[in-house]
Amino acid sequence: MKAAVCRTFGEPLVIEDIEIAAPQAGEIKVKLAACAICHSDIFYAEGAWGGDLPAVYGHEASGVVEAVGSGVSTVAPGDHVVVTLIRSCGHCHYCSQGALVACETSFPLDEDSPLKTAHGEDLVHGMRTGAFAEHVVVDASQVVPIPKDVPLESASLLACGVITGLGAVVNTAKVRPGANVVVIGTGGVGLNAVQGAALCGATEIIAVDLADDKLEAAIKFGATSTINPTREDVAEAVRARTGGRGADYVFVTVGAKAAFDQSYGLICPTGTVVLVGMPATGVMSEIDPGSIAAYGQNIMGSKMGSAQIQVDIPNLVTLYKQGRLKLDELITGRYALDEINEAIDSVKRGEALRNVILF
């Protein structure tokens, strides 16, 4: 099969013929229809978080089940599915608490990648998925069946961008109706935080971004107002729109140090900052612990929107079919696999909400 292989950090991905193993016990092979490009793929491909090469990245995918290993009863060949990077055993210390994204179990796929080059060279199963390829083999826990009338290119976004942004609001922070919310960064994840806040019934939903076109998109996704830091002082503007107090919740959906540093000054007493975006390894941010303690404020991390995918993704599909969740509107460009470098460059230039590779 064809796959985009990263061999040198920072260099364009190369399309190669590779081999993929048959699914073993508890595993599923999926013929992909679509894989959206997330900034996490780009960060890994550029070496921002380390890792080993050569690797196949890509993790925000959907497709049709082609084969299942023994013991798999949740899906069958022909089923349409969303493929995620969330691999969980369901019974370890964290899974038993519902924190599937923190599962501590090691799986056979963690020890032995299903991917090899045509010459037998091992390839890293990037982000436990390797979806910049025509097929994937993943653990059954990573796959969620969806109705066949849901477009697979739109469904792919549910695998990461939607559950990460919306889940940070709904699952991690549990934003209450009437709250004032700020979302810093209105790319694919940020826009889903915006529409998550709208679904929760937030009163003020303030979107912050440097790009006016993304701020315009934020209004369409439910933001009540926007701030471009090049034209307004963000802290002053937030206070002006929240009765002088600041926001109840601030979601940082980008990995920029300046965004993290700024966020702590935007919350009200008892307010919460939720860190969603992932900076490069080694990036540090400073807080004033005295103020955090004195005002009873909170700082939370949110990994993959604290998602329980077998519950959350079907619920999101229902919202989409009801017209209450925007998915189609997130797709900026559609590309073939051999155009992946152009698709990635477009994302890096800030031109796209989500670019999608179609197979």
Express each pLDDT in 236-253 by its tens digit. 999 999 999 999 999 999
Query: What is the CATH code of the structural domain delimited by 165-303?
Result: 3.40.50.720
Report helix, strand or coil for 182.
Answer: strand
Angle, helix 212-220 to helix 188-200, in steps of 10 degrees: 30
- Which tokens is 246 given? 């600041």
H-helix or E-strand spanning residue 30: strand 27-36
Tens of pLDDT, residues 319-350: 999 999 999 999 999 999 999 999 999 999 98
Architecture of domain 2-159+327-358: Alpha-Beta Complex (3.90)
Any idea what the Cα angle at residue 117 is, between residues 145 and 10, rounded to 5°?
85
Tokens 């702590």: give the residue. 264
Residue 221 has pLDDT above 90, yes or no: yes
The reported pTM is: 0.95
Q: Tell me the pLDDT band of 126, cut-offs 50, 70 and 90.
A: very high
CB contact at 8 A, 277 and 255: yes
Q: Does position 206 have pLDDT exceeding 90, yes or no? A: yes
Please state, in angstroms and rounded to a whole number, the distance separating the CA atoms of residues 122 and 116: 5
User: What is residue 356's three-state secondary structure?
Assistant: strand
φ, ψ of residue 203 in degrees (nearest 5)? -80, -60
CB distance 132 to 60 below 8 Å = no
Boundaries of CATH 3.40.50.720 in the chain? 165-303
Please choose, from the candidates 255, 204, 206, the residue with its C-alpha nearest in 3D space to the C-alpha of residue 229. 206
Average of per-residue pLDDT values in the chain: 96
Contact 18, 35 (CB under 8 A): no
C-beta separation of 119 from 286 below 8 A? no
Mean pLDDT value across residues 197-210? 97
Closest CA to 171 of 148, 154, 192, 196: 196
Q: Give the DSSP H or E segment for 269.
A: strand 267-275
Where does the chain hold its CATH 3.90.180.10 domain(s)? 2-159+327-358
Q: Are 88 and 306 in contact (CB under 8 A)?
A: no
Integer CA distances (angstroms), 270 to 110, 168, 297, in order? 41, 18, 4
Backbone angles phi, psi at 230, to 5 degrees: -75, -15
User: Per-residue pLDDT averaged across 203-209, rounded?
Assistant: 98
| pLDDT > 90: percent of the chain | 97
pLDDT for the residue 215: 97
- Which among 18, 27, 19 is positioned nearest to 108, based on CA atoms? 27
Q: What pairing do the DSSP bridges indicate for beta strands 354-358 and 331-335?
A: parallel
pLDDT tens sequence across 88-121: 999 999 999 999 999 999 999 999 999 999 999 9
Residue 280: per-residue pLDDT: 87
Q: What is the pLDDT of residues 272-306, one digit of tens each?
A: 999 999 998 899 999 999 999 999 999 999 999 99
CA distances from 72 to 13, 25, 138, 234 (A): 33, 7, 12, 51
> Under a CB-based contact definition with an 8 Å cutoff, are residues 340 and 4 in contact?
yes
Nearest C-alpha neighbor of 16 from the set 1, 30, 29: 1
CA–CA dist 127, 165 (Å, integer): 18
CA angle 8/13/15 to nearest 5° reads 125
Which helix (H) or strand (E) covers residue 319, if one does?
Answer: helix 309-321
